[in-house]
């Protein structure tokens, strides 16, 4: 019997924001793959999905290096791939959990590329991205009318980030933890701080909402932090 591989988006943090399809798949699988970084023992994605796990499901934690391209650290990725393939060969149903949406700035994208030509069925189940959850939580429309929304990873090249902010109507800034102060300065220069808001760990117990970014610009920011801003 051939195994099947599911990529499941668990949303931003609140377990109630998982889709029915995601919950049904989680309840059906034999094995849960819980990705984590080298520095942390726990998987945030796993903690979100935990209310829906069967008691007898097997949990496999895999470490994925935080690199821009998985080709730069092939050993860890190949080891994880081979472990997954061995389980699929044994006929196991496997769910790979990922924060937000699987096809949106996700580790799952790299895993999908490693497995897509290996001959096993893959089903990707979408999840709610953090910025959508933030907009709904705060009553903050992301775009209206003919507004253009720009989604910017703050970890991109500085010149590209500044250029994108300068020409955008509305912006979503992801991964602002490394250069938060510089990002705030750039938003201020472009008259985008007045209506800006940042949420860290949206939907999780340690959630924090910051409206005055300029006052908080020297703050150490959590990895799971997102800024929304608009010109009008």
Residue 113 has pLDDT above 70, yes or no: yes
Predicted pLDDT of residue 39: 57
Mean pLDDT of 151-162: 94
Measured CA to CA in angstroms, residue 71 lies from 68, 90, 114, 188 at distances of: 9, 27, 11, 37
Q: What is the residue extent of each domain of the chain?
A: 4-125, 130-230
Euclidean distance between CA atoms 43 and 34, whole angstroms: 6
Query: Tens digits of per-residue pLDDT, 11-26?
Result: 999 999 999 999 999 9
CA 108 centroid distance within chain: 9
**Helix, strand or coil for residue 151?**
strand
Q: Which CATH architecture has domain 130-230?
A: 2-Layer Sandwich (3.30)
* Band of residue 77 on the pLDDT scale cut at 50, 70, 90: confident
Mean pLDDT of 198-224: 92
Query: Tens digits of per-residue pLDDT, 117-145?
Result: 999 999 999 999 999 999 999 999 999 98
Percent of the chain residues past pLDDT 90, beyond the cut: 77
CATH code for residues 4-125:
3.40.1010.10
More confident residue, 64 or 134: 134
Pairing verdict, β 93-98 and 31-36: parallel
Percent of the chain residues past pLDDT 70, beyond the cut: 94
Residue 69 has pLDDT above 60, yes or no: no
Predicted pLDDT of residue 70: 54
Q: Residue 206: beta bridge partners?
A: none
Its pTM surpasses 0.85: yes
């Amino acid at each position: 019997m051939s195994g099947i591989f599911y990529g499941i988006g668990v949303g931003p943090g609140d377990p109630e924001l998982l889709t029915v399809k995601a919950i049904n798949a989680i309840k059906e699988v034999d094995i849960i793959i819980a990705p984590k970084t080298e520095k942390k023992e726990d998987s945030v994605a796993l903690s979100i999905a935990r209310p829906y796990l069967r008691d007898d499901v097997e949990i496999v934690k895999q470490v994925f290096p935080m690199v821009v391209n998985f080709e730069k650290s092939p050993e860890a990725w190949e080891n994880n791939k081979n472990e997954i393939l061995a389980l699929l060969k044994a006929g196991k149903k496997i769910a790979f959990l990922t924060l937000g949406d699987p096809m949106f700035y996700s580790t799952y994208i790299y895993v999908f590329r490693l497995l897509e030509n290996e001959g096993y069925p893959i089903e990707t189940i979408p999840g709610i991205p953090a910025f959508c959850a933030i907009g709904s939580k705060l009553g903050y429309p992301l775009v209206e009318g003919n507004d253009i929304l720009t989604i910017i990873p703050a970890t991109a090249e500085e010149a590209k980030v500044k250029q994108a902010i300068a020409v955008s109507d509305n912006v979503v800034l992801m991964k602002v933890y490394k250069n938060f102060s510089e990002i705030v300065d750039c938003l201020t220069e472009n008259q985008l701080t007045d209506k800006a808001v940042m949420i860290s760990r949206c939907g999780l117990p340690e959630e924090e909402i910051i409206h005055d970014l300029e006052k908080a610009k020297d703050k150490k920011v959590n990895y799971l932090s997102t800024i929304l801003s608009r010109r009008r």
